[in-house]
Structure 1
Amino acid sequence: MTMNIYDSVIPQNPANILIVDDSIDGRLLVEILLQDAGYNVQTAESGQVALQMVESSPPDLIILDLMMPKMSGYEVIKILRCQPTIPFIPVLIMTACGYLEEREQAQIDVDGIIYKPIDLDLLLSQVEGLLKKTKKPRNEYCLGSYG
């Protein structure tokens, strides 16, 4: 059996990834990159739409913009982490903020951060790493500052 260059890049059993960003340009950029890498990708333009999609068909990974109108990424994470009907899903946040302090990162219980403008190689590397991680149990997060 002959292998071609794409066999090592394209996942054999592609993960389902949900991209949540109110910016169509932001969604499209990440969507095209991940589809080209062989992943199944869905997009949502708001936190509300994303939560409905997660309830009906939980993805393997969520890439989430923090700053969105109506429902911020922070609120989406709180609901994801505290809703017992939603399985644990790794969350990679996208932010245009220069940096998030460690304390702020711990409060929002995310699995990774990517800063805008997005470094596409770093994004792919983080996605691959998060998809390999084992799922962690729910913790005291829901009883903490958001609960």
Structure 2
Amino acid sequence: GYVGSARLCARAALRSGAGLVHICSRREVIGYYSAACDEVMNFAIAEDKTGLPRVKAIKEMISRADAIAIGSGMGLDAFALRLLDIVLNHATCPCVIDADAITLLAQNRDMLPLLKKGNFVLTPHKAEFCRLADISMAELDADLMA
């Protein structure tokens, strides 16, 4: 994934008035965030023996969150898919779903009904919207509203 996009998301949260911001990321990139974002709390996502996010650890973390942003720079692999699944199934706070998380939803349409369970806001750009809605860019452009 693009690690800089999660940093940008964290800085935007701080700028908009969030008092405490955490970046939860894969262990292999946590050093980048610690060096680049000293005003943000950085946590490596705990992994199970298969290398996927530990459900219990993620559930504990999101239970303390007032809001969640997921997707920026997270990638499209099994690790990212498990993380998204945990958030969709267990988050009770408002969640912004962006970037790679939107693409994962488009690739795993069986997850879409989970959006009804929570307070989720999707923020797709045009290409992400087309993947999610399963339409072409031409179809979208022909039906744009001002």
Both proteins in one fold, TM over 0.5: no
Q: Whose helix fraction is larger, Structure 1's or Structure 2's?
A: 2
TM-score of Structure 1 vs Structure 2, range by shorter chain: 0.3 to 0.5
With structure 2 as the length reference, what TM-score do the two structures score?
0.41
